[in-house]
């Protein structure tokens, strides 16, 4: 069994990842609220990633950083603090986690790190200035750390399109909006958290042992297809 640390595993994609991984591995979740599921394989630490000291953990094979934000406004309505806040939660939180656990992670079995980006870094989308800027920084972090940590630690990221989570609830708040979001994607759907968790399961597994420095887009075709 591997020791997998999930930052932000109480809701959304993070919760789906925790649910998948506790079936076969020891999972340590770090978030402000506890996951709704319980298991002998799950340990929870209550912690605000930006405000609190992260807990000491004895052994880590995989580090997954899930926190994110969706702050969609015209750039004229975005305050400088909006940019700062999005950068803090998406980039600084990830860096803080990696710096804290890097010495332990280096001693892990086939160690790896998984971060999260967004399709908005690959496709120009109005009102995404703040989050696209922050997640573009995440993608730069993935590539440079993959080079810096090679050959010991693999580093990758997933860039999902709209996913049915609490974070995206404003985008999916009624049937018309749900229909419009699905229609924008060539596959006429958007993502469920478990679909992203399935990709995470592969990327942190030994099956992806030759993969590092990559951004994996799960986009229901919106980035690469034009019908």
Each residue's pLDDT tens digit in the chain (227 positions)? 999 999 999 999 999 999 999 999 999 999 999 999 989 999 999 999 999 999 999 999 999 999 988 888 999 999 999 999 999 999 999 999 999 999 999 999 999 999 999 999 998 989 999 999 999 999 999 999 999 999 999 999 999 999 988 877 778 889 888 999 899 999 999 999 999 999 999 999 999 999 999 999 999 999 989 88
**Residues 152, 206: contact at Cβ < 8 Å?**
no
Element (H, E) at 65: strand 62-65
Residue 62: closest CA among 114, 12, 23 = 114
Give the separation between CA 25 and CA 2, rounded to whole angstroms: 5
CATH for the 3-218 domain, from 1.10.1760.20, 3.40.630.10, 3.40.50.150, 3.40.50.720 = 3.40.50.720
Handedness of CA 194, 198, 199, 203 (dihedral sign): positive
List the alpha helices (DSSP H) in the chain: 12-21, 80-87, 93-105, 129-149, 175-184, 193-203
Please enumerate in sequence order all residues whose Cβ is within 8 A of that of 81, keeping only pairs 6 or more positions apart, or say none: none
Q: Indicate the SS3 state at residue 54.
A: coil
Query: Which sequence spans correspond to the domains of the chain?
Result: 3-218
């Amino acid at each position: 069994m591997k020791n997998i640390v999930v930052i932000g595993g109480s809701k959304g994609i993070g919760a789906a990842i925790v649910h998948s991984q506790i079936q076969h591995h020891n999972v340590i979740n770090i978030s402000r609220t506890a996951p709704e599921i319980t298991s002998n394989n799950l340990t929870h630490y209550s912690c605000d990633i930006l405000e609190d000291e992260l807990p000491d953990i004895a052994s880590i094979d995989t580090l997954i950083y899930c926190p994110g934000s969706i702050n969609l406004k015209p750039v004229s309505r975005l305050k400088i603090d909006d940019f700062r806040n999005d950068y803090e939660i998406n980039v600084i939180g990830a860096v803080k986690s990696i710096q804290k656990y890097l010495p332990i992670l280096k001693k892990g079995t086939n160690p790896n790190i998984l971060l999260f980006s967004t399709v908005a870094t690959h496709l120009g989308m109005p009102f995404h200035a703040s989050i696209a800027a922050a997640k573009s920084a995440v993608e730069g972090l993935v590539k440079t750390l993959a080079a810096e940590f090679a050959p010991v630690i693999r580093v990758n990221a997933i860039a999902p399109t709209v996913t049915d989570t609490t974070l995206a609830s404003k985008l999916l708040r009624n049937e018309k909006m749900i229909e419009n979001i699905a229609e924008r994607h060539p596959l006429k759907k958007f993502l469920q958290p478990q679909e992203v968790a399935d990709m995470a399961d592969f990327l942190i597994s030994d099956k992806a042992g030759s993969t590092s420095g990559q951004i994996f887009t799960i986009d229901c075709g919106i980035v690469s297809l034009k019908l």
